[in-house]
């Protein structure tokens, strides 16, 4: 199962505004009538329950939304670009990666140091706009005024957002079945539900998690059969982090122990040690200990022999046989009880988040050196990058907009004089108010 993919996402570029004038017969000096460009399309992720893998996007390298259509004559505005919608499995986490530190298509292992989590799509139908399209440019009709009745310029469309994202899938299950390889996890899931995981008499039969719905009367829970855990998994040995990723979100763990093995007590210690070493608080989750394969004569003898030792060190346990079905109903009821309890505690502990009231700043001014000042902000950048500042009329419009925005006042406070350089993203403007 493919559960990590990364690629580049690009919102569509906005359409350019049009420079046009009315030319109808018998209407002299008709005036400007250039239409606005359409907005670029967005790249959108939607979480859905009926997808369980990211395999569909294994060969995807770039996701590009459609550009907006340019404006036309007679004040006809361009159409908005089409959005690109990608459906991802519920439980997907979206990370924005630091550019230059990875190759497109190659999953980043140490994601915590390489990016920032920007979305957690843990409910069916959740929508995340991964990259917004650029705003469409304004046509010359929008720039006409009493002192400039025939503007000869229009605004270009803004480039859409460009991001490097990684999608990581973490399965959403109530109960996770954990244990050493060949402990009987797949057999238990198949006996509990309609799931059909691969079952074999050899280690690492399960190479990817399997989900099954366990029905108990009118109630139910989702159980996940996890790949076998071995000593050193918390350090990446075996399936390592691939295993641990998927049990982070489970509410309850059922630890299956193969009682036919030579030293089942040591097996229990190994699994508990790996959960504690994972660094994801997995050892804090409720764990139900299930001693499996008691239908085997040797295993049954082991249970009687080690009963007191296991209770003293690990507490209560359930005796089950995944093969014959003995004890499975009691184990399922105990799991459901723990799921309900854990869900109630989690809900009661959810904090109510309130937005902080902060002053909204539309731009910032930072003095870089004696002659260069950096001007940052969505609105100033939009005007600077979409107007042709080589054109006299467009340049005058830009400075007028900056004055109305309050930029001129802040630049003067920062010590900017006429002739100084002001850097706006990659553009350097010689300031002349």
Q: Where, residue-wise, is CATH 3.40.50.300 in the chain?
A: 175-348
Confidence (pLDDT) at 58: 78
Render 144-158 in DSSP notation, one character per residue: -BTTBSS----PPPP
Predicted confidence at residue 299, as pLDDT, reads 85
| Superfamily (CATH H level) for 175-348 | P-loop containing nucleotide triphosphate hydrolases (3.40.50.300)
What's the mean pLDDT in 197-222? 64
Please state which of the ranges 45-59, 71-85, 251-265 shows the lowest mean pLDDT.
45-59
Pick the CATH number of 4-169 from 1.10.490.10, 1.20.1250.20, 3.40.50.2000, 2.70.210.12: 2.70.210.12
Q: Which part of the chain has CATH 3.30.300.350? A: 364-430
**pLDDT (tens digit, 9 = 90+) per residue, 93-135?**
888 887 655 555 555 555 545 578 888 888 888 999 999 999 9
Lowest mean pLDDT among 32-36, 198-202, 253-257, 413-417: 198-202
Domain 364-430: homologous superfamily in CATH: GTP-binding protein OBG, C-terminal domain (3.30.300.350)
Q: Which of 143-152, 207-216, 322-331, 341-350 has the lowest average pLDDT?
A: 341-350
| pLDDT exceeds cutoff 90 at 42 | yes
3-class secondary structure, 74 = coil
Confidence of residue 347 (pLDDT cuts 50, 70, 90): very low
pLDDT of the residue at 158? 94
Q: What confidence score (pLDDT) does residue 408 get?
A: 86
Helices 392-405 and 378-386 cross at an angle (nearest 10°) of 170
Angle at 275 between CA 311 and CA 292, to 5 degrees: 45
- Is pLDDT at 323 greater than 90 in this prediction? no
Q: Within the chain, which residue ranges are assigned CATH 2.70.210.12? A: 4-169
Split at pLDDT 50, 70, 90, the class of 234 is: very low
pLDDT tier at 233, thresholds 50, 70, 90: very low
- pLDDT tens, position by position, 302-314: 889 999 999 999 8
Strand spans (E) along 186-279: 210-216, 219-225, 252-258
Region for 88 from its dihedrals, namely left if φ exceeds 0, alpha if ψ lies in -120 to 50, beta otherwise: beta
| Residue percentage of the chain with pLDDT more than 70 | 82
Distance CA 241, CA 227 (A): 11
355-393 residue pLDDT tens: 444 444 578 888 887 778 888 888 899 999 999 999 999
pLDDT of residue 329: 92
Q: Where do we find the tokens 């075996």?
A: 238
List the beta bridge partners of residue 221: 214
Interhelix angle for 264-277 vs 297-314, to 10°? Answer: 50
Can you give the pLDDT at residue 207?
Answer: 47
pLDDT interval class at 228 (50, 70, 90) = low
Looking at residue 430, its pLDDT comes to 85
**Mean pLDDT within 278-306:** 85
């Amino acid at each position: 199962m493919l559960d990590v993919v990364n690629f580049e996402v690009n919102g569509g570029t906005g359409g350019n505004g049009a420079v046009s004038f009315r030319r109808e017969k018998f209407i002299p000096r008709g005036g400007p009538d250039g239409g606005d460009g359409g907005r670029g399309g967005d790249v959108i992720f939607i979480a859905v329950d009926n997808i369980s893998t990211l395999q569909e996007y294994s060969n995807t390298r770039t996701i590009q939304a459609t550009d907006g259509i340019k404006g036309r004559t007679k004040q006809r505005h361009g159409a908005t670009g089409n959005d690109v919608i990608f459906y991802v499995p519920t439980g997907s986490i979206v990370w924005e990666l630091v550019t230059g530190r990875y190759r497109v298509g190659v999953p980043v292992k140490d994601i915590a140091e390489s990016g920032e989590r920007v979305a957690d799509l843990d409910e069916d139908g959740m929508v995340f706009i991964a990259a917004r399209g650029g705003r469409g440019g304004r046509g010359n009709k929008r720039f006409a005024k009493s002192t400039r009745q025939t503007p000869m310029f229009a605004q270009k469309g803004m480039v859409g957002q460009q991001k490097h994202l990684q999608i990581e899938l973490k399965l959403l299950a109530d109960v996770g079945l954990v244990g050493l390889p060949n402990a009987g996890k797949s057999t238990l899931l198949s006996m509990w539900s309609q799931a059909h995981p691969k079952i074999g008499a050899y280690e690492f039969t399960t190479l990817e998690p399997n989900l099954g719905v366990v029905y108990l009367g009118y109630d139910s829970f989702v159980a996940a059969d996890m790949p076998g855990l071995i000593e050193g998994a918390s350090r990446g040995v075996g399936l390592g982090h691939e295993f641990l990723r998927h049990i982070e979100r489970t509410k309850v763990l059922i630890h299956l122990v193969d009682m036919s093995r030579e030293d089942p007590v040591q097996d229990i210690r190994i699994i508990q040690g790996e959960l504690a070493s994972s660094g994801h608080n997995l050892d804090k989750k409720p764990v139900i200990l299930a001693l499996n394969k008691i239908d085997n004569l040797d295993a049954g003898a082991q249970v009687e022999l080690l009963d007191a030792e296991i209770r003293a060190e690990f507490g209560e346990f359930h005796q089950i046989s995944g093969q014959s079905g003995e004890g499975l109903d009691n184990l399922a009821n105990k799991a459901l009880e723990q799921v309900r309890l854990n869900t109630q505690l989690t809900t009661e502990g959810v904090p109510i988040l309130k937005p902080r009231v902060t002053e909204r700043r539309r731009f910032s001014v930072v003095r870089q050196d004696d002659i260069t000042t950096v001007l940052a902000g969505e609105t100033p950048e939009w005007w600077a990058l979409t107007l042709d500042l080589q054109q006299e009329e467009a340049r005058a419009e830009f400075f007028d907009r900056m004055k109305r925005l309050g930029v001129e006042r802040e630049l003067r406070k920062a010590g900017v004089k006429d002739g100084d350089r002001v850097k706006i993203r990659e553009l350097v403007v010689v300031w002349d108010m």
